[in-house]
Amino acid sequence: VISASGSVEMSGNMLVGSVVLDDFTMSLKWSKIGKFHMTLIQSVMWSFLKTVATPYVNSRLRKGFPLPIVRGFTLQNADILYKNSLLAVCSDVVFTDSML
């Protein structure tokens, strides 16, 4: 079981964020080849998640995801709403004269 927390914010017309690994637990349900030392495997996996997986995910989240915006418009005063695993971005849309 992986427990993590995250944050999301707007940067221009991009949705950016980050995650933090809070907790990680493993358990062996069954094995046909014998007993495993789950505490050792769990500590190795924790180190991998903390030093490799989480920094990789955060580097991708820092780059951000572009929101679909019509050329010549931009978002201002954006609010991000979370509810029941859904994410909604509410914002003012501003015309920018990009032809000049």
Q: What is the pLDDT of residues 26-65, one digit of tens each?
A: 988 888 888 888 999 999 999 999 999 999 999 999 999 9
pLDDT at 6 over 80: yes
> Shortest CA distance to 28 belongs to which of 17, 43, 18, 38?
38
pLDDT digits (tens, 9 = 90+) for 12-28: 889 999 999 999 999 88
Residues 6+ apart with CB under 8 A from 82: 8, 88
Tell me how far apart the alpha carbons of residues 26 and 94 are, in angstroms, rounded to a whole number: 49
Give the predicted TM-score (pTM) of the model. Answer: 0.77
pLDDT at position 98 over 70? no
Report the run of H or E that residue 69 belongs to, with start and end. Answer: none
Quick check: 80 and 10 in contact, CB under 8 A?
A: yes
Q: What is the pLDDT of residue 100?
A: 53
Beta bridge partners of 49: none
